[in-house]
Amino acid sequence: MSEKQYDSVLVGYAEEPRYNDDGQVGMWSVRFKDNELREIIEKYATTRNEQGQGGNVYVTLFMSKSGKACCRVFDPNSAAAKEKRAAKAAASASVDDVPF
């Protein structure tokens, strides 16, 4: 059985979510120290293209299976992310330019 590869890295636990009057999650917050934020930008920012697009860091807040609020960041250099980009490039290269 192959091991599942992830395209994100757990960067820590977020603060507990705040709920609205209906009992639904209203908002979450996450806090980074300046050195942690600098490291996240250096390691996980996407590359910029010729037009200056890119340089993004994608952070996701989620609830773990044990009910803890967590934070993860997308790693564009991970093996899973590289595989997804290669598959997407292969799929777009295989599409024929059909006029209809």
Sole residue written with tokens 């996701």: 60
Could you report the per-residue pLDDT of 27-62, keeping only the tens digit for each? 888 888 999 999 999 999 999 999 999 999 999 988
CA distance 47 to 51: 11
The phi, psi pair for 11, rounded to 5°, reads -105, 0
| Nearest in space to 73 (alpha carbons), one of 6, 9, 13 | 9
Contacts of 18 (CB under 8 A, 6+ apart): 25, 26, 27, 28
pLDDT at 94: 62
Indicate if the pLDDT at residue 1 is higher than 80: no
Alpha helices (runs of H) in 1-100, residue ranges in sequence order: 34-44, 79-94
Residue 84 confidence class, pLDDT cut points 50, 70, 90: confident
How far is the C-alpha of 63 from the C-alpha of 26, rounded, in Å? 14
pLDDT above 80 for 23: yes
Tell me the β-bridge partners of 60. Answer: 72
* DSSP SS3 for 25: strand
